[in-house]
Structure 1
Amino acid sequence: MRLLKIRDAWRAGPPLVLVCALASFAASPGSAVLRVCDDVVPPASLDPQKEFSEKNHTIIQQIFDGLVRFDPEGDIEPALAESWRWIEPLRLEFKLRKGVRFHNGEPFDARAAAFSIGRFVDPRGGFPGAGFLDSIDEVEAADTHVLRIKTKYPDGVLLHRLAGLVSMMPAGFVAQHGEAYFGEHPVGTGAFKFVRWDKESREIVLEANEDYWLKGNPKFQGLVFRFLSVEEQVEALLKGEVDIVTELPGTETLKVMKSGTAGIVKKESFYTVASSVNGQAGPMADRRVRRAVNYAIDKDQLIRYDVLGNGRPMASLTMEGEIGHNGELRPYPYDLGKASRLLREAGYGGGLRLKAVVKAQGMRTMKIIAKQLEKAGILIDIHETNDANVIRDIQAGGWDFTFGGCPDPMAHSFFIQFIFLSSMSPYSILGDRAFDERLQRMAGTLDPGEQQRLGAELDRYVHEEALSLFTFQRIKTYGVGRTVHFVPSVTGMPYFHLSAPRAP
């Protein structure tokens, strides 16, 4: 038995191995190649440890596998781990698949898993989502195909953290070529193997992994990610030059449906646009003001004008299908009379002005909400920010609330609540100790039934205290070519080995 302290595990990789050259592969029209537009710009890196975005991760998870992963409905299923069990409150044991190799021929085993987890957790490594993995303390390669993870405290969300964030990587390849090379020539165990990244034509080309451990998959010979403007994406779909457009604008759905070459697929996704309110100072520290703001938001009209009907009103920050969701809660109704009454009780009968810092992709939503709030006498001063500057701008202070979109890569109520509300989150300005304690209690519960009960109680607390501006769950709209059977995912990040060619 070998015990590796997590911060050192990734440095203790296996001996260097020879790298097998990837076969040449061309994505020509008419071949069994799936062509996808999922973003307008290429990723910065294809190293899983260097990314923390929905679009980047969609590419990553075609090339790499985790120990566990999410099925299309957000339930955890085996991946490179065949099974797992808690052998004590602080120790989770995985039995790994045998006979699995990385695309370069390196064997996948417990040592490779320890190396991979270590890269994600090591604070010197710079993983942007490392804070979500801070419960991990040690990894133990108990046998060639037995891995044990020791946590610092009971962590009932650990499997969801691993499924949403952690990919397995080849230690020998990374050591031999370095992280920079690995980021542009990724090697995993996934359903598709990296072939090339053509930066001039803005394409990432992958080919089928014929030795994939999930027999019968993938069903396409190749997978190509193309990076085009939104207008170019729709045009390419209608011409048959791409097969899937993952962010089809609502204004284009009728055109696509009438085209004869493509159709529409819709799927609820774990994605919302919400806020962190200043619970320590200013008007939003008053529960009556927070509730008034929520009563003054007309969610039906917001959904109609913002996403052209492709949304479901939300009562809190959780969605059906997430662990911890309370299905008994109902969204705040649109009630200007109640909003005005609460504002008068709070001393703002003459109206008030709030300052908000808003991420760029949430600006359209915020502008619609701001117009609605004017009817209740609430004026919003909006400061627009972007991904590069959002943390700096939030922490500059002086805001009544923040606002932006957020996916849930962990398929658990913990993630979005942590991002917007936890005192440990750099995106939160709430400062609610009672919330922090309840969130930690829920996340630290190993029993699934008890965790759901505590999560539902927390959900009710967030709703009744109006700890955010509650909006809608997004219904994601895909444009899909007639020759493709596409399987979307509730996480918004599909696995394309589940999709298949079909007769037009």
Structure 2
Amino acid sequence: MHHGFMAAALVLCLATPAAAQRNLVIAAQTPPSALDPHFHNTTNNNMVLRQIFEPLFELDTQARPQPRLAESLRLIDPLTWEVKLRAGVRFHDGTPFEAEDIAYTFARVPTVPNSPALFTPAVRTISAVEIKDPQTVILRTREPNPLMPIDLAAPAILSRRVHGPNPATSDFNTGRLAIGTGPYRYAAYLPNERLEVTRNADYWGPAEPWDRVTFRYIPQGGSRMAALLTGEVDLIDYVPMQDMPRLERDPRFALFGVDSVTFVYLAPDAMRETTPFATDRQGRPLPRNPLADRRVREALSLAIPREAIAERLYHGQARAADQFAAPVAAHRLPNLPPLPHEPARARALLAEAGYPGGFRLTIHGPNGFFPGDDGLLQALAQSFTRIGIETSVETLPPATLFTRATNREFSLFMTYFSSYLTINPMRQVAMTRNAELGHGPFNRQRYSNPAMDAPLAEALTTMDPERREILTQQAAQALLDDKGVLPIIFLRNVWAGRRDKVTYEPSPVNHTAAQYAKPVQ
């Protein structure tokens, strides 16, 4: 009798919504620029939107494609791939996911208006999408594409029925079209302030543990820390480096860290005759663009004290970069020495290039885009000033920075890239821009280097992994030699959470998302 009563009481207890509700509040640094999953291919958007929408595959923490809306991918011949789709999946409004949605999605990807960076590289090689049966799609390509398994993990799949012809980005932002197949559903959105999602009870995969997840967007590290310490939020991303020792000592909190696949770099305006933000010492325009001279770009690289920045400015939460590829990236250049810090040689190169007295330069970068970004810009400016390039800094909100960078308004700007591959950042950031082929969508300075492009173009169509590695490294070496981009540091990603509430699986690609958070009880 007694046991029966206890069980009945327990059932009643679980039925009361207050006890059953599991809510999570996350303070995140950077808001998405839109809720349209094809509008802007950036970590900040993808991590948020992967909760609502899903791609065919997802890359795991070892960069291996794992099934999402697709169950398998098979190469039939060098120009033909077979994709098996998951059966019984529905969009949040109940509309079934169908084979026709693949062609619809891939056709939309290159056409989104006003996009700061499209997903076009992911679909660039696909010439036809054929439906063999309701669960099987055949992809035909214009050329062999060894990156297809990675590419298919990029664009989220939309529904031709739900989203219709020419869906507007603004209709995603209002929530009207924020309808996917993902583990969480859209609940509410206030741009730059908060996003709320609720658990998708009809999700095809394992049930998510949280009933409601609220993301509060708090760009200042100190304010995120305060929200965590006062209990307003359960988890924060981008933990300020200087606060880590304090959190480590406090038993109420846990830190979750991992070496990232994110590297910070500078993009110089190397191609134009003149450049807007380089002047002589009196502030007069220079007759020619100093950054178009490889010796000047090398001088800038030699001025950067990467080891000191990683140790002192980043309290050891970063590593000096040796090339334009993450430490774990496949096919990176092996056994490279650290990039040298030689201010005297830098000054000699400037004199040799015709700037014995240096010049003036403004560098641009984001504020609140990655940890310590404005401090890093100041450190770079001081390093350049020490070799005779009198440098000032202008920081901008990320959205403004990328719009202006895309319009080629800068001489030298700082940003980052995340990838498990060496070939991918080169194809996206440094390859000669070609919208039709999907090359260089992030190549905002329109850098162009035939010595890099030729082996890279061949690598992108070479199915033999050994040959592809040789070609990729040839391209990587050409980029490094030419200083087409200047790598600075590799970042470490760290989250902090309430120890009694949440554990977090830290993501090397730096995703802050509900899927990685698990309740403690």
Given that residues 358 and 382 in structure 1 are in contact (C-alpha distance below 8 angstroms), is that contact kept between their aligned partners in structure 2? Answer: yes
1:232–1:285 Cα change, 3 Å? closer
1:339–1:227 Cα change, 3 Å? closer
Given that residues 73 and 82 in structure 2 are in contact (C-alpha distance below 8 angstroms), is that contact kept between their aligned partners in structure 1? Answer: yes
SS at match of 2:486: coil
Paired with 2:384 and 2:363, the residues of 1 have a C-alpha distance of: 16
Instruction: Pick from 193, 196, 204 the counterpart of residue 205 of structure 1.
Output: 196
Given that residues 355 and 381 in structure 1 are in contact (C-alpha distance below 8 angstroms), is that contact kept between their aligned partners in structure 2? Answer: yes
SS at match of 2:164: helix
Instruction: Pick from 365, 368, 388 the counterpart of residue 400 of structure 2.
Output: 388
Task: Give the aligned length.
Answer: 470
Paired with 1:389 and 1:335, the residues of 2 have a C-alpha distance of: 30
Aligned AA (2:234): D
Aligned AA (2:431): S
Q: Does 1:366 align with 2:377?
A: yes
Given that residues 271 and 405 in structure 1 are in contact (C-alpha distance below 8 angstroms), is that contact kept between their aligned partners in structure 2? Answer: no
Which residue in 2 is equivalent to 1:407? 417
SS at match of 1:470: strand
Which residue in 2 is equivalent to 1:12? none
Q: Which runs of 5+ in 1 are unaligned?
A: 1-25
Q: How far off its partner does 1:94 sit?
A: 0.7
Which residue in 2 is equivalent to 1:325? 332
1:262–1:301 Cα change, 3 Å? same
Which residue in 1 is equivalent to 2:143? 153
**What aligned pairs does 1:68-87 form with structure 2 within 5 A after superposition?**
68-87=57-76
Q: How far off its partner does 1:67 sit?
A: 0.5
Which residue in 1 is equivalent to 2:105? 116
1:106–1:472 Cα change, 3 Å? same
Aligned AA (2:134): T
Q: How far off its partner does 1:405 sit?
A: 1.4
Q: Does 1:485 align with 2:503?
A: yes
1:383–1:429 Cα change, 3 Å? farther
Which residue in 1 is equivalent to 2:23? 33
**What aligned pairs does 1:20-99 form with structure 2 within 5 A after superposition?**
31-39=21-29, 41=31, 43-99=32-88
Paired with 2:192 and 2:412, the residues of 1 have a C-alpha distance of: 37
Q: How far off its partner does 1:57 sit?
A: 1.9
Given that residues 119 and 125 in structure 1 are in contact (C-alpha distance below 8 angstroms), is that contact kept between their aligned partners in structure 2? Answer: no
1:127–1:376 Cα change, 3 Å? closer
CA-based RMSD of the aligned residues comes to: 3.1
**What aligned pairs does 1:121-160 form with structure 2 within 5 A after superposition?**
121-122=110-111, 128-132=117-121, 133-160=123-150
Q: Does 1:336 align with 2:366?
A: no
**What aligned pairs does 1:168-247 form with structure 2 within 5 A after superposition?**
168-175=157-164, 179=168, 180-185=170-175, 186-194=178-186, 196-197=187-188, 199=190, 202-215=193-206, 217-230=207-220, 231-247=222-238
SS at match of 1:163: coil
Structure 1 window deviating more from structure 2 (292-301 vs 491-500): it is: 491-500
In the TM superposition, what whole-angstrom CA distance separates every residue of 1:375-427 from its partner, at most 9, and x where no partner exists? 32333355555533645456556x6x42221232x543344334542330451
Given that residues 324 and 456 in structure 1 are in contact (C-alpha distance below 8 angstroms), is that contact kept between their aligned partners in structure 2? Answer: yes
Aligned AA (1:273): V
Aligned AA (2:136): V
Q: How far off its partner does 1:143 sit?
A: 1.4
In the TM superposition, what whole-angstrom CA distance separates every residue of 1:11-62 from its partner, at most 9, and x where no partner exists? xxxxxxxxxxxxxxx9979942232122355x45322123333222211001
Paired with 2:172 and 2:88, the residues of 1 have a C-alpha distance of: 23
Given that residues 36 and 225 in structure 1 are in contact (C-alpha distance below 8 angstroms), is that contact kept between their aligned partners in structure 2? Answer: yes
**What aligned pairs does 1:283-362 form with structure 2 within 5 A after superposition?**
283-348=290-355, 350-353=356-359, 355-361=361-367, 362=373
Q: How far off its partner does 1:317 sit?
A: 1.1
Paired with 1:189 and 1:155, the residues of 2 have a C-alpha distance of: 27
Q: How far off its partner does 1:96 sit?
A: 1.0
TM-score relative to the length of structure 2: 0.80
Structure 1 window deviating more from structure 2 (119-128 vs 448-457): it is: 119-128
Aligned AA (1:388): T
Paired with 1:150 and 1:445, the residues of 2 have a C-alpha distance of: 16
1:99–1:380 Cα change, 3 Å? same
SS at match of 2:400: coil
Q: How far off its partner does 1:299 sit?
A: 0.6
Paired with 1:255 and 1:321, the residues of 2 have a C-alpha distance of: 30
Paired with 1:244 and 1:35, the residues of 2 have a C-alpha distance of: 7
Aligned AA (2:325): T
Which residue in 2 is equivalent to 1:422? 431
Q: Which runs of 5+ in 2 are unaligned?
A: 1-15, 274-288, 368-372, 434-439
Q: How far off its partner does 1:160 sit?
A: 2.3
Which residue in 2 is equivalent to 1:496? 514
SS at match of 1:485: strand
Q: How far off its partner does 1:477 sit?
A: 1.9
SS at match of 2:144: coil
Given that residues 394 and 402 in structure 1 are in contact (C-alpha distance below 8 angstroms), is that contact kept between their aligned partners in structure 2? Answer: no
SS at match of 1:489: coil
In the TM superposition, what whole-angstrom CA distance separates every residue of 1:225-273 from its partner, at most 9, and x where no partner exists? 1223534322221233322211211122233233332122222222222
Aligned AA (1:91): T
Structure 1 window deviating more from structure 2 (203-212 vs 432-441): it is: 203-212
SS at match of 2:156: coil
1:438–1:123 Cα change, 3 Å? farther
Structure 1 window deviating more from structure 2 (168-177 vs 330-339): it is: 168-177
Paired with 2:326 and 2:197, the residues of 1 have a C-alpha distance of: 34
1:365–1:438 Cα change, 3 Å? farther
In the TM superposition, what whole-angstrom CA distance separates every residue of 1:151-174 from its partner, at most 9, and x where no partner exists? 33332333323313x111233222
1:314–1:379 Cα change, 3 Å? same
Paired with 2:166 and 2:406, the residues of 1 have a C-alpha distance of: 38
SS at match of 1:155: coil
Structure 1 window deviating more from structure 2 (178-187 vs 453-462): it is: 178-187
Given that residues 38 and 246 in structure 1 are in contact (C-alpha distance below 8 angstroms), is that contact kept between their aligned partners in structure 2? Answer: yes
